[in-house]
A and B are shown apart, each in its own frame.
Chain A
Amino acid sequence: MKIPLELRGLLEDPESVKVLTTTDKDGVPHTVFKASLTALDEDFLAYVELFESSQSQKNMLQNLWLKKPVAMAVCKGRLAYQIKGEPYRLVIEGPLRDRFFQQVWKRIPEVNPCGVWLIRPKEIIDESYETHQKKEQSRINYSIWFQYLGRP
């Protein structure tokens, strides 16, 4: 699945809010902010995992081994996307790792990151306000039955 240009732009915007949800081996979800989440290219998402001991890192390994999906959300203003994907690889060495680590070290010089996770998107859902609004409004007789009376 290809990552659309609008989503790539949103992921590259430093002001976007980005979260990642993983699950442990019992299926318990774990959600965290991942400021480094971005589109590596049109095929992969990537983020820097900062800590070896984090629950996200443990879950990502489990999700990779068991081929379980993870979910990500990114938003800025009224633009928002949800992406479901599969962990593909933890990059611990080489030019890609170096590039991502250098970016992280500019923000957090003292951190010793674990690696760069690559995630292959499997489903991309437009969660923006306008899209949902259009969907709602497409219901028959929306203007008659879905309006809160007296709202500002």
Chain B
Amino acid sequence: MEYKLLETKRKEEFEIVCQKYPYAPRTFLLKADLLRRGLKPTEVAIERLQDPYYEHYPEVLFQWHHEDRTTSYKVPGTYYLNDGTNVFFILSPPAFDPYTLDLVNDEFWILSDEEPLEEVHFAKKPEYYDKMTTSGVPMQKVANLGSADCFFFCQSRHCHSWNEGLQCKFCDMDYNAKHQLKMGRGFNIRITPQEVYETTCEALKEKGRWRFMFLTGGADPRDGYERELEYNISLIEAMTKAGKEILGVDRLPLNIIMTPLEDEQYLRLYEAGISGFGSYIEIWDKEKWKLTCPGKEKYVGYDRWIERTLKAVDIFGEGNVVCGFVPGIEMAPPPYGFEDIDEAVNSSLKGYDFLLKNGIVPVGTQWSVMPGTDFFKMGATPPPLEFYAKLDIGRYELMKKYGREVLAHQWYYKHQPLATHVDWLRLL
């Protein structure tokens, strides 16, 4: 029977899935559902969250929300459940039947039909957030809190695929940049090495807080991605310099997510200071990949994408290379996705198995149906919660099969509020 999110009751669906899959920790399923259905804060909750103690997400990479944030209220990025599960704050329209964020006895709680489900906690704003670079850019627009102990840089808020209308069908990057500019929130498209250096220095002064950082942003395929690579290397060198000066270390725990490269290019990244490499293949099925990621298909191609990702292991080592997916787009409207849950799940599990076998960790960020994306324009809605339960359990079985040696915990539950694979790692 065809699943219709807009006609399915949140509470009923969640309880059915929890009962059907008792093996899955309830908070992991709740996280998947919170990302899928989103949140609707009450007036008192959102007003409390305006307290400058809290971190507010500067929306420099993707908007992540299922609706445009048009109010002047600031919205946090990550929040934490009592078991330490990190979840991203995603606003949703009423049609998605979102969960409610409210205050109960003066504490933040997630409610489902007025029943308090989980107490939640919001992140303390990093100390560098309100500082300015010498160029006059607020540092929070240079580096963002990623999660509990991670910050990240979005180096370019423009992906060249948008120039040709070849952006990935789920991506809102350029739409988001325009939206933020339109809302007058202060937004620069490209950050400079000096800004990165100054911001990294300030961030690292908060000693004992961080243990992971990454760099990502829009792709630039010109000259075989050489321009993007050169630019990224200049930023990595700036971060590495900051690490040496502030902490006296030669290398920071630094990961980059970009298009997979040639061996010689990987070496340059490693020498500049990158210890972990990631590329997002997004979806495993080859034909659906071509349809969903036309820019990647045009400039790299499916087979080459995988070949290059495999080669990254030779440079960075097993467990230090990740391959990203967008769990959920396997069930985007056909022909982009599958109609059947099992077919969708099995397609991705096949990819995860292949990657793990080759020393690559499958990671991901759960699909948000964001305004401005092609899927949003098609009227797409997230897949059933059961899809995520089956995918997570299947992936966990594979993780157990290949063992902790491959899963080097480069991405862990404290680093990734947008996906559940990190949470399942806690059970290994």
Query: Chain A residues in contact with chain B, CB under 8 A?
Result: 52, 58, 61, 64-65, 88-95, 98, 101-102, 105, 112, 115
Question: B82 near A: Cβ within 8 Å?
Answer: yes
Structural contact, B209 and A98, CB atoms closer than 8 A: yes
Give the residue name and chain of the A residue nearest to B123 (CB).
A93
Given contacts A90-B83, A92-B80, A115-B84, 6 further A-B contacts (CB under 8 A): A64-B83, A65-B26, A92-B149, A93-B149, A98-B208, A112-B211
Report Cα–Cα, A64/B83, bound state, in Å.
7
Question: B275 near A: Cβ within 8 Å?
Answer: no
Within 8 A of A (CB), among B117-135: 119, 121, 123-124
Structural contact, B148 and A92, CB atoms closer than 8 A: yes
Question: B414 near A: Cβ within 8 Å?
Answer: yes
Structural contact, A94 and B26, CB atoms closer than 8 A: no
Q: How far is the CB of A106 from chain B (nearest CB, A)?
A: 12
Structural contact, B27 and A65, CB atoms closer than 8 A: yes
Structural contact, A65 and B25, CB atoms closer than 8 A: yes
> Which residues from A are CB-within-8-Å of B26?
65
Q: Is the interface of B mostly helix, strand, loop or mixed?
A: loop
Say whether, besides A92-B80, A93-B123, A93-B149, A102 and B208 are in contact (CB < 8 Å).
yes
Most buried by B among A61, A64, A92, A95: A92
From A64, A88, A94, A115, contact of B123 by CB (8 A): A94
> Which residues from A are CB-within-8-Å of B426?
52, 58, 61
Give the residue name and chain of the B residue nearest to A90 (CB).
B84
> Which residues from B are CB-within-8-Å of A90?
82-84
> Which residues from A are CB-within-8-Å of B412?
52
Report Cα–Cα, A100/B254, bound state, in Å.
26
> Which residues from B are CB-within-8-Å of A88?
82
Structural contact, B148 and A61, CB atoms closer than 8 A: no
> Which residues from A are CB-within-8-Å of B95?
none
Structural contact, A58 and B427, CB atoms closer than 8 A: yes
Structural contact, B148 and A105, CB atoms closer than 8 A: no
Structural contact, A94 and B427, CB atoms closer than 8 A: no
Report Cα–Cα, A95/B412, bound state, in Å.
21
Structural contact, B124 and A65, CB atoms closer than 8 A: no
Within 8 A of A (CB), among B121-158: 121, 123-124, 148-149
> Which residues from A are CB-within-8-Å of B409?
52
> Which residues from B are CB-within-8-Å of A115?
84
Give the residue name and chain of the B residue nearest to A60 (CB).
B83
Say whether, besides A61-B426, A65-B25, A65-B27, A94 and B211 are in contact (CB < 8 Å).
no
Structural contact, A93 and B82, CB atoms closer than 8 A: no
Q: How far is the CB of B54 from chain A (nearest CB, A)?
A: 10
From A64, A65, A91, A105, contact of B208 by CB (8 A): A105
Say whether, besides A65-B25, A65-B26, A93 and B208 are in contact (CB < 8 Å).
no
Structural contact, B149 and A61, CB atoms closer than 8 A: no
Structural contact, A93 and B148, CB atoms closer than 8 A: yes
Report Cα–Cα, A64/B211, bound state, in Å.
26
